[in-house]
Structure 1
Amino acid sequence: MDWTPHAAALAARVTYPGSSWWVPVKETPRHLLVERWYTSSPQGWIVVDGPSDESAWAAAAYADTTLVTRIGAVHADHARPYPPVTGHPTSSSTLPSLVVAMLQHGHLTPGVRLLDVATGSGYSAALACRRLGDDLVTTLDVDPYLTEAAAQRLERIGHHPTVVTADAGQELPGVFDRIVSMVSMPCIPASWLAALAPGGRLVTTLAGTGLIVTADKTEDGGATGRVEWDRGAFMTTRTGDDYPPALNHVFTTANHTEGEVSVSPFPVLDVMQAWEVWSMLSLTAPGIEHRNGTADDGSRMTWMLHPDGSWARAHTAPGEHTTTVYQGGPRRLYDLLEAIRWRWLEHGQLPVYGAQVTITPDGKTTLSRGGWSTTL
């Protein structure tokens, strides 16, 4: 495959001539790092083998899109063509524009030592190696197969960073000037602050939100920074082969229990597409699982489910603007959503983007802006 024009086209989409990341994107053969991936179908996830169709391989590898490489415990490298694999994505090669954005937020100047958290396919490590040099890049992932495969593929394209298999939430393998995470964290681990050199910088997204946090280490061993104005989301960090199972038992309850009934003046909202609302709600009540659908009569429906057993079911009938809401369990999840939507309307914005970030040496993280604050 003549991949160079494809990589050049990708560079033109996600960066610009003169940028520090123009040459790394232009000169990195992403297709050699992602040889097989999954596409979704009504029956499940179907594996695609790149070398079997080079035109499809090039189109996928050099598109600015995320390529899912692992479903549950089954990596695409090991999947059979049939039957489809079912489950939730647990690893991917993230869309290049977001990878580049996270690296840019890291301020990777020559000479800095980088820890790339969540190796995945190795693409972010490859870009960093092009920018900094192999000896200054360490990449880490919890999955031993991912680190082994990435190390081999990085070697194939001429890069030899330090590749480590470890849990990102535990003790880190060294001291670094920059820690940039390609996986979402529920909070900032104290181990990151311990491993960050004086004046060092960390960049991550917060789990369940679209918030990118950047923070620079302070003299007391903590860090201060902000929530950036742009947004991004990654898979959440995990410690095992898979994530906890979906809340199907709570979903069953939500569908077969009337609960408390109320009427909302707002139509049903796809919360996951309303990034400010989603982020604010996730900070208020972490762990909510959102589902959307359409009833037999054409009503738009949404469900909110929580591990504590709380649930909400809401639908907006065709031609209507109000929503009928049913809720149950220890908390009223839809009421929390409604309060955030009212705040959004009253103020024209929510305080999450642009919030100041303060992190204590033990990882306690506080976000604050305009009289609002929350601690993770």
Structure 2
Amino acid sequence: MTEPAVLRHRLAAAVPVQDPAWRTSLATVPRELFLGTGVFRFDGRQWSPVHRDRTDPGEWLGLVYEDTTWVTQVDGITAEDATEPVTGRPTSSSTLPSLIVRMLDVAGVGEGHKVLEIGTGTGYSTAVLCSRLGDRSVYSVEYDPGLAAAAADRIRTAGYNPTLITGDGLAGHRDGAEYDHIVATCAVRHIPPAWIRQVRVGGTITTTLSGWMLASGLARLTVHEDGSATGRFLTDRISFMLARPHERPPRPVFHQHPGRTRAALLDPALLEDWTGQFLAQLAAPSAELMTTGTGVILVDVATGSQAWTEPAAGGWTVHQHGPLRLWDQVEDALGAWQEAGSPTHSDLGLAVDPDGTQRVWLGAPDGRSWDLPV
């Protein structure tokens, strides 16, 4: 069996980083301490638990040091406690090591910086931060009390002693402010105002912006003296679980209502594009997206409005029902994107104004923009 230290160094050497000091942290922190006694594997339909005590030790360590995200909790059920496959949505995971250091690279975290991490999870990324910055410079918030307690045990077993908080990460941690950086390992629908207040002028907020269509984009914001924050999106195809207070409410029952029918001006396949789906989400922020074998369905959680497409001779037909014309909103945003040349996320920016208004812009700050739900 290959020794854990050898696997750690092998993983660290293979991970692409801008700042090589993060490789040292990856080679130092024993990830096996943070996966507990079980993880989930997904087969496209259900999550099956893999238990350490029922797995060959060498095979288990091989899983631990794969550069992959291991889901450790699904709808509140931990892999350690699961005795059979479960269905549902992941609610906690151990993020793949390359993504952890990518986020920290993007944020610009370095020696002497104080960092607030939103989402302790298993504690692995918290330990990576401690290895580089020292315990006194690391603060981490976890929403789930059970996960927080388990992570605290593992972090301290690994020899680290950061400030750990159990609570709503969207409120940050005022007692530790001001921070040089806030880095979130969960996604948000908008930037929480508390984060901006708790970061020093010139400091950064690095997070994924997501929503109920589950499209996402990685953004890095710089905080300014007037209380605003501005930044741009990167091209990384990154997705995190939504922060629990930002999670989707129950979806209204969908009945295929004929509604008002017209020819669709754009192909629904545009929503399969990473940036196209993100813009659709900006245009209809309270809608969920479903796909069928023949088109797409949009259902608005707030109003029950719906839109669905079906093939027609030479194109597509769209049916819309309810107070919102969801496809009109989506089509308008996608049309603007196409007029701009269908750029990637790197042509999108994010602005939080001093009055709290938040918007994503296309091309330039004074260009076409969409307000975020706040």
Superposition TM-score tier, normalisation by shorter sequence: 0.7 to 0.9
Question: Is residue 232 of structure 1 aligned with residue 232 of structure 2?
Answer: no
Identity %: 33
* TM-score normalized by the length of structure 2: 0.86
Question: Is residue 286 of structure 1 aligned with residue 285 of structure 2?
Answer: yes
Residues 278, 38 of structure 1: alpha-carbon distance in 2 compared, 3 angstrom cutoff: same
1:267, distance to aligned residue in structure 2 (A)? 4.7
Structure 1 residues 152-176: Cα deviation after superposition (integer angstroms, max 9, x where no partner): 1112222221111011222524211
Q: How does 1:1-376 map to 2 (within 5 A)?
A: 2-16=3-17, 19-35=20-36, 36-41=38-43, 44-53=46-55, 54-79=57-82, 81-82=83-84, 84-170=85-171, 172=173, 173-175=175-177, 176-208=179-211, 209-239=215-245, 243-247=247-251, 249-251=252-254, 253-254=255-256, 257-264=257-264, 267-269=267-269, 271=271, 273-294=272-293, 300-307=294-301, 308-316=303-311, 322-350=315-343, 353-361=346-354, 363-368=356-361, 369-370=363-364, 371-376=367-372
- C-alpha distance in structure 2 between counterparts of 1:200 and 1:348, whole Å: 33
- C-alpha distance in structure 2 between counterparts of 1:99 and 1:78, whole Å: 26
- C-alpha distance in structure 1 between counterparts of 2:350 and 2:265, whole Å: 34
Contact 2:270/2:277 (8 A) holds in 1:
no
Residues 245, 37 of structure 1: alpha-carbon distance in 2 compared, 3 angstrom cutoff: farther
The letter for the 2-side match of 1:163 is: L
The letter for the 2-side match of 1:311 is: Q
Contact 2:70/2:96 (8 A) holds in 1:
yes
1:316, distance to aligned residue in structure 2 (A)? 4.4
Contact 1:357/1:367 (8 A) holds in 2:
yes
The letter for the 2-side match of 1:164 is: I
Contact 1:266/1:321 (8 A) holds in 2:
no
- C-alpha distance in structure 2 between counterparts of 1:50 and 1:362, whole Å: 51
Structure 1 residues 270-302: Cα deviation after superposition (integer angstroms, max 9, x where no partner): 73x4211121112221132222233xxxxx343
Residues 56, 265 of structure 1: alpha-carbon distance in 2 compared, 3 angstrom cutoff: farther
1:306, distance to aligned residue in structure 2 (A)? 1.6
- C-alpha distance in structure 2 between counterparts of 1:153 and 1:286, whole Å: 38
- C-alpha distance in structure 2 between counterparts of 1:99 and 1:142, whole Å: 19
Contact 1:268/1:315 (8 A) holds in 2:
no
Residues 237, 18 of structure 1: alpha-carbon distance in 2 compared, 3 angstrom cutoff: closer
Residues 285, 120 of structure 1: alpha-carbon distance in 2 compared, 3 angstrom cutoff: same
- C-alpha distance in structure 1 between counterparts of 2:159 and 2:311, whole Å: 56
- C-alpha distance in structure 2 between counterparts of 1:197 and 1:170, whole Å: 16
The letter for the 2-side match of 1:145 is: G
1:98, distance to aligned residue in structure 2 (A)? 2.1
- C-alpha distance in structure 2 between counterparts of 1:30 and 1:260, whole Å: 55
SS in 2 for 1:180: strand
1:66, distance to aligned residue in structure 2 (A)? 1.9
SS in 1 for 2:240: coil
Q: Which runs of 5+ in 2 are unaligned?
A: none
SS in 2 for 1:23: helix
1:17, distance to aligned residue in structure 2 (A)? 9.0
Residues 61, 293 of structure 1: alpha-carbon distance in 2 compared, 3 angstrom cutoff: farther
- Please identify, of 363-372 and 211-220, the stretch whose mean Cα deviation from structure 2 is larger: 363-372
- C-alpha distance in structure 2 between counterparts of 1:204 and 1:191, whole Å: 14
The letter for the 1-side match of 2:287 is: I
Residues 6, 332 of structure 1: alpha-carbon distance in 2 compared, 3 angstrom cutoff: farther
* TM-score normalized by the length of structure 1: 0.85
- C-alpha distance in structure 2 between counterparts of 1:66 and 1:321, whole Å: 42
The letter for the 1-side match of 2:138 is: V
Q: Which runs of 5+ in 1 are unaligned?
A: 295-299
Structure 1 residues 52-77: Cα deviation after superposition (integer angstroms, max 9, x where no partner): 31344233322222211211122223
Contact 1:315/1:323 (8 A) holds in 2:
yes
- Please identify, of 27-36 and 182-191, the stretch whose mean Cα deviation from structure 2 is larger: 27-36
RMSD over aligned CA atoms reads: 2.7
- C-alpha distance in structure 2 between counterparts of 1:196 and 1:42, whole Å: 40
The letter for the 1-side match of 2:129 is: A
The letter for the 2-side match of 1:326 is: H
Residues 193, 265 of structure 1: alpha-carbon distance in 2 compared, 3 angstrom cutoff: closer
- C-alpha distance in structure 2 between counterparts of 1:284 and 1:236, whole Å: 19
